[in-house]
Amino acid sequence: MILDESITTALDSIKANLLRSLLTTIAIVIGTASVIAMVGIGSSAQRAIDDSITNVSARTLSVYPSRGRGSQKINSTPLTISDADALIEDNEINWRVSPEIRSSKSLKYGNESITISVIGGRKTYFDVQGYEIETGNFFTERDDLARKRVAVLGSNVGTELKTSSKMLIGKEVDMGGVTFKIIGALKPEGATGWSNPDDIIYVPLLTASDRLFGRDRVDSIRVEVPNTYTPEEAMISIERVLRREHDIGPGEENNFRINDWSQFTDLRKQATAIFSGLLIGIAGISLMVGGIGVMNIMLVSVTERTREIGLRKALGATQNAILLQFIIEAVTLCIIGGIIGVIFGSSLYFLVTVFQDWVFTIPFSAIIGSVIFSGCVGLFFGIWPAKKAAALDPAVALRFE
Amino acid sequence: MNVIKVNNITKHYLLGSQKVEALRGVTFGIRQGEFIAIMGPSGSGKSTLMNIIGCLDSPTNGTYHLNNKEVSTLEGDELAGIRNREIGFVFQNFHLLARNSALDNVMLPLKYAGFNRDDQLKKARETLSKVGLESRMNHQPSELSGGQQQRVAIARALVNNPSILFADEPTGNLDSQTGHDVMQLFHNLHQQGQTIILITHENEIAAEAQRVIYIKDGLIESDIKKDKV
Ligand SMILES: Nc1ncnc2c1ncn2[C@@H]1O[C@H](COP(=O)(O)OP(=O)(O)OP(=O)(O)O)[C@@H](O)[C@H]1O
Ligand SMILES: [Mg+2]
């Protein structure tokens, strides 16, 4: 009975000073809005990262030659096809190894001539990259060993030669003075980062090395590691093989680099963590400021309503009844702020999901949790003013002007 | 039988280093059903006395028995309980809750007494009818005249059947006709056996009581019982 009286009284007094009450709760609103936006954005970002990791069925590491520094540049040891073969022969981990040799060449067909990126690789190159054929065929391992002059086109190359990739199948083109037969064209893949696989022409590794570029130095070796191994385990194995191949003595530095692509996702995770931390900070400070604001407004309210408190006491209100009334007022104020904050926070989060093309999921527990937490802020900061009210001497309070 | 027995009550206030002796030894008894006026010049200690016998405050010295129970030694919530059950207050400036209806104002003491809502509503309606406001129950104080507001306050004071009804200058803020109506209400209540203690400046008002206690400088100057009016 006293409880429902306290709640109606609290709502009445909030309504009576609506503008003041709303202004008081702004910091609480910001606090809870940040919490909700943070939880939502955090979980969506996490989900996006998880998806991108599971999309790549296995983890891919890339090995590059060290970029020698200064005078060391001349001495820097290249990565070669035999390094790649050594990795293939090592059977500790059943990884897939895809060496890549890359350069630019002029490409002529009929009267058209363009400059194009050429990648030499094995059949595994397409598997590791996940490229699919649209028309014709990939080259095979036998094409590679026989150093056959065959090529597979990226999906744009045909149009760049003023024809279509389909039309070029079976035709011969001139690349750097060497004649190649086109045997296949890829499906469009879309640009990833700085290179566009659709603008590239692909030839067998040994053909590229012996007939086109005249070098057995490769630009990178991709190693696709099955899910049963961590990238760290794979790195240790790669290091072991390549250090042996390169005759690197104990204590000497590697003359190659291994990039773990999952580092990028780690980086993104880190960025998300920093972002969350920032929002937690904002939320914490806002709730703190909000709490102090509520305490201030409650002290004002207690002073303004001294005579009312005196009257209630004259009518028989116990100290606890008064205490409860003012605590409930503070808690209600903060919960209202919390609810408004949840609405603002979810809207903000919703906008972000629209722009980032993420899934919108706010855990119900986060909503309930942040509303309850703002209630607790009200409780914590409302206790002192409420105690002041409860301790008022009724005779003095009634005389108060 | 005495409802109230005060014995040599004093009340001192400290204003900084200065001691104000608001009451300097007051002794009297009040019987069940009496209608008493307390008079005296401003600052003589009337309100202080009402605060003490109304259990809003404790005396500095002396004893006070209410219904044969010593209450001068009680504090805080114990006094709150006694105020709730035994005492009804009517103030000069009504002291109604501005945002609550007449009915809600009258229900307030019953809420603190712990009655369920049905009983609260029933008793509050009955009491408002008793003071002639059955048609104004859902009005807010701002929608009522001064006399009506004071009658709401009287209903609130009576709703929990107190032993004593205190009224501190109940007509002080009312014009003479309305004041007269309110006094008529007090007479009716007195007729029904209600013990009433009324503080007033006005001789006319005091003249309507059965007994008049004059206070001056914190002491009883005279205590005059009259024959029935
Ligand atoms: N809380 C207090 N602190 C200090 N002094 C007080 C306090 N309450 C009353 N007094 C003093 O005690 C004396 C009696 O005051 P009281 O209010 O009882 O007078 P009163 O007879 O009711 O006067 P009035 O007719 O003007 O209402 C006054 O001198 C007053 O200033
Ligand atoms: Mg007075």
The domains found in chain B, sorted by start residue, are 2-225 (3.40.50.300)
When pLDDT is averaged across residues B112-117 and rounded to a whole number, the result is: 90
Q: Is A251 on the interface with B (CB under 8 A)?
A: no
Per-residue pLDDT tens digits for B167-222: 999 988 889 898 888 899 999 999 999 999 999 988 888 888 999 999 999 999 99
- pLDDT tens digits, B48-65: 999 999 999 999 999 999
Q: Distance (Å, rounded) from C-alpha A102 to C-alpha A99? A: 10
CA distances from B22 to A62, B13, B70, B213 (A): 95, 7, 22, 16
Query: Is B80 close to A318, i.e. CB distance below 8 A?
Result: yes
Q: Is the CB of residue A191 less than 8 Å away from at least one CB of chain B? A: no
Task: Determine the pLDDT at residue A57.
Answer: 43
Looking at residue A232, its pLDDT comes to: 80
Q: Determine the residue of chain A that is closest to B160 in CA distance.
A: A315
Which of A159, A201, A200, A198 minimizes the C-alpha distance to A178?
A201
Residue B15 near ligand 1, beta carbon < 6 Å = yes
Euclidean distance between CA atoms A234 and A229, whole angstroms: 7
Best of B56, B94, B106, B127 to disrupt the A interface (most A CBs within 10 Å) is B56
Q: How many CB pairs under 8 A join A and B?
A: 65
Q: Tens of pLDDT along B1-18?
A: 789 999 999 999 988 889
Instruction: Please check whether residue A16 touches B, CB under 8 A.
Output: yes
Contact A131/A138 with Cβ under 8 angstroms? Answer: no
What is the interface pTM, i.e. ipTM, of the complex?
A: 0.94
A237 class by beta-carbon count within 10 Å (0-12 exposed, 13-18 middle, 19+ buried)? middle
Which ligand is nearest the CA of B42, by number?
1
Amino acid at A21: S
Backbone torsion region of residue B68, taken as left when φ is above 0, otherwise alpha when ψ lies between -120 and 50, otherwise beta: left
**Can you give the residue ranges of every domain in chain A?**
2-52+265-399, 60-260
Q: Does A329 touch chain B (CB under 8 A)?
A: no
Residue B161: burial class (beta carbons within 10 Å; 0-12, 13-18, 19+): exposed
Residue from B15, B46, B173, B214 to probe ligand 1 pocket by mutation (most atoms less than 8 Å from CB): B46
Residue-by-residue pLDDT tens, chain A, 401 positions: 567 777 888 888 888 888 888 888 898 999 899 888 888 887 887 777 666 655 554 578 888 888 655 555 445 678 899 999 999 998 888 888 999 999 999 999 988 899 999 999 998 898 888 888 999 999 999 999 999 999 999 998 988 888 888 888 999 999 988 999 999 999 988 766 567 888 999 999 999 999 999 998 999 998 888 878 877 888 889 989 999 988 888 888 888 888 766 666 666 677 777 777 887 888 888 888 889 999 999 999 999 999 999 999 999 999 999 999 999 999 999 999 999 999 999 999 999 888 877 888 887 888 999 999 999 999 999 999 999 999 999 999 998 87
Nearest to A42, CA basis, from A361, A371, A372: A361
Q: Which amino acid would we find at residue A70?
A: G
Cα A324 to averaged position of ligand 1 atoms, centre (Å): 31
pTM: 0.70
B111·A319 Cβ contact <8 A: no
| The total number of residues written for chain A in this structure | 401
Evaluate: CB of B40 within 6 angstroms of ligand 1.
Answer: yes
Of A256, A24, A178, A209, give the one whose Cα is nearest residue A103.
Answer: A209
| Min Cα separation A372/chain B (Å) | 28
Q: What residue type is A84 in one-letter code?
A: A
SS3 call for B209? coil
Atom of ligand 1 nearest to the CA of A395: 1
Structure tokens at A356: 């980032």
CB-closest option in B57, B83, B114 to A1: B114
Q: What is the DSSP string of A170-223?
A: T-EEEETTEEEEEEEEEPP---BTTB-GGGEEEEEHHHIIIIII---EESEEEE
Residue nearest to atom 30 of ligand 1 (CA): B43
Nearest to A2 among B97, B112, B156 (CB): B112
A303/chain B closest Cα distance in angstroms: 16
Cα separation, A308 vs A289, whole angstroms: 28
Greatest alpha-carbon pair distance for chain B in Å reads 53
Q: Which ligand is nearest to the CA of B201?
A: 1
Half-sphere exposure of A382 (CA within 13 A, CB side): 23
Mean pLDDT to the nearest integer, B116-143: 93
Token duo for residue A290: 């909000």
**Residues whose CB falls within 8 Å of the CB of residue B19, separated by 6 or more in sequence, listed in order:** B12, B13
